[in-house]
Amino acid sequence: MTSHPGRSGSTPGSPAYAGPPRILTFSRGEQQVSETTVSPHGILVALRAEVTAGDDNRAAAPVSVTLDVQETLRIEADGDILRRLLTPLLGRSVAAASRAAAGSSPREVLVTAVGYPDRIEIEFADSGSGLTPRERNSLPRGRSSADPRESTDSLLDDVLRLATSVGGTLAAMECPEGGSAVTLCLPIRRTALRRAA
Tens-binned pLDDT, residue by residue, of the chain (197 aa): 554 433 344 444 444 434 444 444 444 444 434 447 788 999 999 999 888 776 555 556 788 999 999 988 887 778 899 999 999 999 999 999 988 766 666 889 999 999 988 889 999 999 988 888 888 888 765 444 445 557 888 888 999 999 998 889 999 998 888 899 999 998 875 444 444 44
Decide: 167 and 189 in contact? Cβ < 8 Å: no
> Considering Cα of 119, then 50, then 139, then 132, what sign does the dihedral take?
positive
CATH number of the domain within which 110 lies: 3.30.565.10
Query: Does residue 3 sit within a domain?
Result: no
Residue 105 lies in a domain: yes
CA atoms within 13 A on the CB side of 8: 4
What is the count of structural domains for the chain? 1
Type of residue found at 179: G
Residue 137 CB coordination number (10 Å): 20
Domain range for 45 is 23-196
What is the rounded CA–CA span in Å between residue 62 and residue 101?
Answer: 13
Q: Three-state DSSP class for 192?
A: helix
| Domain presence at residue 109 | yes
Residue 154: inside a domain, yes or no? yes
* Whether 139 contacts 160, CB under 8 Å: yes
In a domain, 6, yes or no: no
Q: Is residue 102 part of a domain?
A: yes
Q: How far apart are CA 34 and CA 56, in angstroms?
A: 41
**C-beta separation of 63 from 94 below 8 A:** yes
In a domain, 88, yes or no: yes
Let me know: does 41 contact 76? Beta carbons within 8 Å.
Answer: no
4 within domain boundaries = no
